[in-house]
Amino acid sequence: MSEHIQPSQAKITRRKNGSIVDRLFRPKHKRSRTAREEAGFDRNMSTKGDAPSAKKAKSLEASRKKYVKARLNDEASTDIRSLAVGTLAMMASALSNQALPKLLGRLLDEKSTSLKNMSCGVDEICSHSGKSGSASKALAIVVIGGGFASFLRTTMLNRAQDNIAQRLRTKLFSAVLTNRDMEWFVAGGGAKSEGENSKDGNNQSDAATVPTYQTSASSPGAIGSILAEDCNKASESVTTVFANILRSCSSCAFATYHMISLNPSLFGISVSIVPVVGAAAVVLNKFVKKATAKQRECAEQAASFAEERITHIMTVKLANREEEEVEKYVQLQEECVRLGRKVNSAKGVFMGFTFAATGGALYTVFNAGGAAVATGRMTSGELTSFATYSFLLGLGTSGVFKALGELTQGLVSADRVYSLMDGSLDAKSSSEGKKQPIDTESVESIILQNVSFSYKSSSKTTVLDSVSLRLERGKVIALVGKNGSGKTSLASVIAGLYTPQDGKITLQPSGVDFNELVRESQTSLIQVVPQHPAFFDATIKSNVSYSNLNASDEEIKKALTIANCNDFIDKLDDGLNFRVGRNGMRLSGGQRQRLALARALVSKPCVLILDEPSSALDAEGESAVTDAVHACRNGDNCKSMGLLLITHRASTLQIADLIIVLKDGKVVEEGTYDELSEDKGSALCELMSELS
Ligand SMILES: Nc1ncnc2c1ncn2[C@@H]1O[C@H](COP(=O)(O)OP(=O)(O)OP(=O)(O)O)[C@@H](O)[C@H]1O
């Protein structure tokens, strides 16, 4: 007994210490919740499709922005040391940049004075050459110091950026994988793409109207795009972009100071362009924000589209649709490029405008400055310094506006990251309070009482209607019913993938509610072998031990033997270390089903559900099912299991202790094979005659 309790105890202990997911979210999550509350953030804000009044929407948008900023700053605070060093180094390099024009001007003046004095005699030349040397020394210090500061700035800020992006990615991936329920993944995250909402109702089946490809927030492509690009952009906005704003602002301040001290009236002329450039930047910023959001959405759709086609490459090739799919992808890409072109054009117009305005200001400065030099009010070195400072002021000003634009884009990305992450947290919090572990060995049976269920995406259709049944260790139940009668849905509800709206699933003898258990206990109690089992591109051994990482080699081998896998594994060069390929494509359908059975057996569940177990099994392979039945009844040196077989095969029905017939989600009949087959008017006989 103690031998079998160990895994579940280990799981319980792990839970107490906190999983990686808990560790990822625990400290920050508490703080971020406060930030959310402070910002008056409403949970519904992250849900697309809600349409509050325009005024309310505007205020929500403002509070959402505040919330996203607070969350991002919170995230950046973890890397405060690198950020502080990087920002200081950036300021130092900006200072050295500012010192350069003045020192260069001084060098120029000193050199020209020295040359003028060449004719004045040896003594004078010697006295000036000393000053010339001081400007050169100061320049050398500034250049070397500036170089080191640039090195430090780049290293530290990029390090912080990578760290923040990596943390965002990890948290997001963890939030999505751990907290989102099956419904979200299957139903598409509840988010609809533009194409889906289009008035004319076009969809991807109409090749001529592409791009209207429908994607969802939960599609792998969409999540992948947010993980890869948005996390990067968001972290960039609180690291390099933020530091760039500081640098550009300090550049502007220093350049202004130097210009005023060199020639105040000339300064007035050169800054006359700032309000014009500023106004242009405000307009541009708004436009870029909207266009960027659309561009990101489009990129997401294209990524999802490509991902889905590659995943279902066999279907694409069998239907000979490669060219059409490429054509659709090209159209999606063209749409993305078109949207990107809008953003780039806006940026280009702004940069061109800034360049022309700066050039015009420089022209005016040199015109007026030339007159000042000619009348002796300024030296030529001072004019050169002034011109360089005005150039730096222009650069600084456009740098501020450019960085503000990037900051806006970063916030759009951060919003996307946190919307997905928060949705996951909300899903988790809604299920909080129903978490308790259980010693799975102590459970003798699982009882369903009047369980009713419908999918949220089609809540009007009742898929399971008051289903009651008892799954007991050592007992075999066969579940039969027409296509769509609810068999797989029932298996998913029993496995805890979906929560029933009505009724109860309780554990005996404790009477504990199954849906109040931690997920770890649920999976230890129930294992399902689905109709089409999925595999990771890894070895047979790691795929089989996936359901129980604590399984010993002996336990794995035993499960493989019960599932009749040894014959085909022995023929493979690498044996247990054979890589099964993407989704197990290097194995046959029957081999995959047998491996899936072994994977389920490895975790020694209380109840094992086999969904159409013999659909891909040959006669020999089918004995795997009978062996599983044997293992379930006798326990095979360990505790026996309950077995729920979803099947229509008469041979399998005959070995079941009880047959349950499901019709439109309702249990319409139950009894042994002998009882039901004798009654020619029974639902089972009716079903079997329809199937034969
Ligand atoms: N994820 C889902 N979202 C919404 N409806 C679903 C979902 N999965 C199944 N359904 C619907 O639930 C009903 C029962 O489906 P289910 O797959 O449970 O039937 P089944 O008896 O297992 O069918 P089959 O024998 O063909 O496998 C069907 O009407 C189906 O359209």
Could you tell me if 366 and 444 lie in one domain?
Answer: no
- Is 227 a member of any domain? yes
Tens of pLDDT, residue by residue over 126-144, are: 444 444 567 788 888 888 9
Q: Within a 13 Å sphere around the CA of 458, how many CA atoms are in the beta-carbon half?
A: 6
Q: Which amino acid is at 574?
A: D
- Is 29 a member of any domain? no
Contacts of 433 (CB under 8 A, 6+ apart): none
Query: Is the CB of 185 inside a 6 Å radius of any atom of ligand 1?
Result: no
Query: Is the CB of 665 inside a 6 Å radius of any atom of ligand 1?
Result: no
**Quick check: 514 and 507 in contact, CB under 8 A?**
yes
By most ligand atoms within 8 Å of CB, the mutation choice from 184, 488, 644 for ligand 1 is 488
> Could you say which of 379, 412, 430 is where a domain stops?
430
Query: Is the CB of 459 inside a 6 Å radius of any atom of ligand 1?
Result: no
Could you tell me if 213 and 358 lie in one domain?
Answer: yes
Identify the CATH number of the domain in which residue 522 sits. 3.40.50.300
Give percent of the chain with pLDDT exceeding 70.
Answer: 78
Identify the CATH number of the domain in which residue 293 sits. 1.20.1560.10
pLDDT at 487 over 90: yes
Could you tell me if 245 and 296 lie in one domain?
Answer: yes
Could you tell me if 81 and 183 lie in one domain?
Answer: yes
Could you tell me if 409 and 457 lie in one domain?
Answer: no
pLDDT at 5 over 50: no
Ligand 1 mean position, distance from CA 562 (Å):
30
Print the SS3 string covering 33-100: HHHHHHCCCCHHHHCCCCCCCHHHHHHHHHHHHHHHHHHHHHHHHHHHHHHHHHHHHHHHHHHHHHHH
Query: Is the CB of 182 inside a 6 Å radius of any atom of ligand 1?
Result: no
Ligand 1 mean position, distance from CA 497 (Å):
14
**Quick check: 610 and 531 in contact, CB under 8 A?**
no
By most ligand atoms within 8 Å of CB, the mutation choice from 181, 463, 499, 648 for ligand 1 is 463
Could you tell me if 358 and 461 lie in one domain?
Answer: no
Atom of ligand 1 nearest to the CA of 491: 18
By most ligand atoms within 8 Å of CB, the mutation choice from 487, 497, 609, 611 for ligand 1 is 487
The pLDDT, as a whole number, for residue 526 is 93
Query: Is the CB of 488 inside a 6 Å radius of any atom of ligand 1?
Result: yes
24/14 Cα distance (integer angstroms): 15
Q: 548: domain range?
A: 440-691
Could you tell me if 552 and 643 lie in one domain?
Answer: yes
Could you tell me if 628 and 652 lie in one domain?
Answer: yes
Domain total in the chain: 2
**Quick check: 373 and 380 in contact, CB under 8 A?**
yes
Report helix, strand or coil for 15. Answer: helix
**Quick check: 578 and 569 in contact, CB under 8 A?**
yes
In Å, how far are 203, 287, 340 from 337, measured between CA atoms? Answer: 21, 16, 5
Average pLDDT of 67-80? 91
- Is 464 a member of any domain? yes
Tokens of 203: 């969809």
Could you tell me if 426 and 445 lie in one domain?
Answer: no
Query: Is the CB of 484 inside a 6 Å radius of any atom of ligand 1?
Result: yes
> Could you say which of 396, 430, 464 is where a domain stops?
430
Average pLDDT of 208-228? 65
The torsion defined by the Cα of 79, 85, 87 and 91, in degrees rounded to 10, comes to: 180
Q: Are strands 476-481 and 642-646 parallel, antiparallel or unpaired?
A: parallel
Could you tell me if 416 and 458 lie in one domain?
Answer: no
Structure ipTM over 0.85, yes or no: yes
Per the DSSP assignment, residues forming a β-bridge with 526 are 607
**Quick check: 453 and 498 in contact, CB under 8 A?**
yes
In Å, how far are 184, 481, 665, 681 from 492, measured between CA atoms? Answer: 14, 16, 13, 30
Nearest CA to ligand 1 atom 12: 463
Ligand 1 mean position, distance from CA 331 (Å):
34
Ligand 1 mean position, distance from CA 237 (Å):
45
In Å, how far are 261, 270, 366, 505, 562 from 264, measured between CA atoms? Answer: 7, 10, 14, 82, 91
- Is 288 a member of any domain? yes
**How is 605-654 classified by DSSP, letter by letter?**
-SEEEEESTTTT--HHHHHHHHHHHHHHHH-TTS---EEEEE---HHHHH
Nearest CA to ligand 1 atom 17: 488
The torsion defined by the Cα of 192, 197, 198 and 202, in degrees rounded to 10, comes to: 70
Nearest in space to 572 (alpha carbons), one of 594, 587, 552, 559:
587
> Could you say which of 374, 401, 430 is where a domain stops?
430
pLDDT at 490 over 50: yes
Nearest CA to ligand 1 atom 24: 483
Tens of pLDDT, residue by residue over 162-178, are: 999 999 999 999 888 88
Could you tell me if 483 and 615 lie in one domain?
Answer: yes
Tens of pLDDT, residue by residue over 367-408, are: 888 888 888 888 888 888 888 888 788 778 778 877 888 888
